Amino acid sequence: MRGPRAWRAVVTVLVAVIVLLGLLPTHEALSAVAGEAEGAATVAGHFLQYALLGFALPVALRGWRPGRRVLLAVGLAAAGLGLAIEAMQLALPYRSGEAGDVVVNSAGAVLGLVLVSWTGRVKERRSRWRRG
């Protein structure tokens, strides 16, 4: 995928999916699909969603070498999004907000940030190697 516009579109869709899955009643559908592994599927889903966000958002904002400030801002934004969704879930009768989910979300975002930072370094080394 090339260009910041495409990455911004990915981030927009990803945030919409995260918010919708976080606020809609998904328990029955998840139970039907995952069965007894519902708890593990929920944790894996939280982690993966925020890892993708932690990877895509810095690229959408600043490209493959976003810098420490952008990485920190994205990490805080992702953690804040997770916290906000969990807080909203407390007011919904069909959802339950949990502190553990905030931790899992944040851990996923950190992994995404680490991966985008690593990917940027690899891309930079490759381009230097190609130039000679």
| pLDDT for position 1 | 67
| pLDDT for position 69 | 96
Domain carrying residue 54: 4-131
- Please state the pTM of the whole predicted model: 0.89
| pLDDT for position 106 | 97
What is the 3 state secondary structure string of the chain? CCCHHHHHHHHHHHHHHHHHHHHCCCHHHHHHHHHHHHHHHHHHHHHHHHHHHHHHHHHHHHCCCCCHHHHHHHHHHHHHHHHHHHHHHCCCCCCCCCHHHHHHHHHHHHHHHHHHHHHHHHHHHHHHHHHC
Q: How many domains does the chain have?
A: 1
pLDDT tens for the 132 residues of the chain, in order: 667 899 999 999 999 999 999 999 988 888 888 888 888 999 999 999 999 999 999 999 999 889 999 999 999 999 999 999 999 999 999 999 999 999 999 999 999 999 999 998 898 887 777 776
